[in-house]
Structure 1
């Protein structure tokens, strides 16, 4: 049985490690998983949903299995705290997200469009070569909103509910979605399982992110009412059941309009309008980064509470 205190303390320490150290510069476990998943794809790929299910089960199941072994081997007390902290640090990407957001805003303020375009792929998969300054600001802002949920809130919540296996398993699910969860010729069927699994894994975290965004809207000059109104009115029009929630709530909190023509390397999508007001500027991007930082801290508090509730439920 997981100890609720060890889990909660480990999550907090993992968050602190991410804030102080950021992502490991070399030998990042997520990068290693990506390489292993790519090698596995060479063996499992077929233009078929069943092959994609097999790929997902093997890749994610292996990581969850490692998490279970780590949990059993670490026991309770300091060992469990350390294991949870290291797993959380590995899975989180909050500091890197905030740092890249600030760097993007700095380059746009300086008029360095080439530098901003060079930086955009570290945030999202859009084609930076076709974007002007406003387009780069909008792309970065939307990515900040979505990745606040994916890279910070979701790992913490999964860790609170399921400990080390939950943290590592979620990161595996999210990484696979980023690798193969596309609607293109190669992955339309093979990547179906990865995309749907990621949707399910993020259903609750995205909504927690939306609620935290609404609650914290005053720190960026917005209101909870405007954030919730945009969420309620616009989120359902987005093609993603989760990205729509976090982007709409962010748009409402900031008082800006997101969505519209969105160009990826694999094609063009016409996204629905989220929020109301003017298109986002560099100043709005900086406000979004500030909101992301606040939501991440709020998520730690929520995760600690959830870990305590789950621990009491387990003992009962």
Structure 2
């Protein structure tokens, strides 16, 4: 896992032949054949799409230790998205800093699913900071937590389930029933990593020499996160708001549907200068989660030996 984390920090996502893209193609082909506006069909789709990659990971995980190490490192690298997430965030920041609002509106599509066609600079900055917080949990913490718990099979299960949620977990007329199972599974798999991310955020405040921010993080998570419609994104975004001393949340538009997500944190409104600060926070939180995950894994291994 540590090797995979270092590979992500050095190179980001694999440039070509990304395993997640392969899985996305497989899932899209299955959707074309299995789609029906019923939850039962969505459950069947979930089983059919997840079984091959998870079974393959289980088989490879039973290999000799050196091979298992290599497979886990590769799975971790492919599943992590921390470095690429930071690059995209800073790309939007640079466009905004250069007053290229249209370019920033276009570039941010790789980070968020909301409608940003009419968003101003500060709205785009808020979207970037919220995406950094949420995706740090989904694309970094969850990979490390499930990897520490179950090795490569845990990593593969989470990344594939998270990909399915991104593909069909939307509340549209076509996908509301069919994508229900994928959305619920993703919620379950991200529940623990989201709480680990909150813990790591409080620790990172202390490490960064800002222990007074811990109180702000705890207050935002306890009082503001329940207003967010997502049980997992709410806490991690609230924690980021408290750690940065800003206010996140508000009204977003998704495919013509307006959604109010409450206000997270009681600091000032986000502006463009907060994007680099959020990138640094995301990096610190990721490192902290890695230490926590590896420490838990090593402790569990010692107990098993004893």
Correspondence for 1:44: 34
Which residue, 154, 177, 199 being the options, matches 2:165? 177
Correspondence for 1:4: none
Correspondence for 2:51: 61
Which residue, 155, 165, 168 being the options, matches 2:156? 168
Which residue, 209, 219, 239 being the options, matches 2:197? 209
Which residue, 282, 285, 308 being the options, matches 2:275? 285
When the two structures are superposed, what TM-score results if normalisation uses the length of structure 2? Answer: 0.96
Correspondence for 1:125: 113
When the two structures are superposed, what TM-score results if normalisation uses the length of structure 1? Answer: 0.93
- By how many angstroms is 1:220 displaced? 8.4
- By how many angstroms is 1:127 displaced? 1.4
Q: Secondary structure at the match of 1:172?
A: helix
Matches within 5 A, 1:13-162: 13-72=3-62, 74-76=63-65, 78-162=66-150
Correspondence for 1:224: 214
Q: Secondary structure at the match of 2:296?
A: helix
Distance of aligned partners of 1:122 and 1:84 in 2 relative to their CA distance in 1, 3 Å threshold: same
Q: Distance in 1 between matches of 2:245 and 2:209?
A: 10
Distance of aligned partners of 1:54 and 1:313 in 2 relative to their CA distance in 1, 3 Å threshold: farther
Could you tell me whether the CA contact under 8 Å between 2:161 and 2:185 is conserved in 1? yes
Q: Distance in 2 between matches of 1:207 and 1:82?
A: 29
Q: Distance in 1 between matches of 2:288 and 2:46?
A: 31
Matched, 1:246 2:246: no
Q: Secondary structure at the match of 1:281?
A: coil
Could you tell me whether the CA contact under 8 Å between 1:161 and 1:310 is conserved in 2? no
Q: Distance in 1 between matches of 2:172 and 2:209?
A: 37
Instruction: Could you tell me which runs of 5 or more consecutive residues in structure 1 were left unpaired when the two chains were aligned.
Output: 1-10
Which residue, 250, 260, 272 being the options, matches 1:260? 250
Correspondence for 2:295: 305
Matched, 1:276 2:266: yes
Q: Distance in 1 between matches of 2:191 and 2:290?
A: 18
Q: Distance in 1 between matches of 2:293 and 2:123?
A: 34
Q: Secondary structure at the match of 1:269?
A: strand
Could you tell me whether the CA contact under 8 Å between 2:203 and 2:288 is conserved in 1? no
Which residue, 165, 188, 204 being the options, matches 2:176? 188
- Greater relative contact order, per chain length (Cα 8 Å cut-off, separation 6+): 1
Could you tell me whether the CA contact under 8 Å between 1:157 and 1:306 is conserved in 2? no
- By how many angstroms is 1:309 displaced? 3.1
Instruction: Could you tell me which runs of 5 or more consecutive residues in structure 2 were left unpaired when the two chains were aligned.
Output: none
Q: Distance in 2 between matches of 1:208 and 1:252?
A: 16
- By how many angstroms is 1:58 displaced? 1.6
Could you tell me whether the CA contact under 8 Å between 2:141 and 2:197 is conserved in 1? yes
Distance of aligned partners of 1:266 and 1:57 in 2 relative to their CA distance in 1, 3 Å threshold: farther
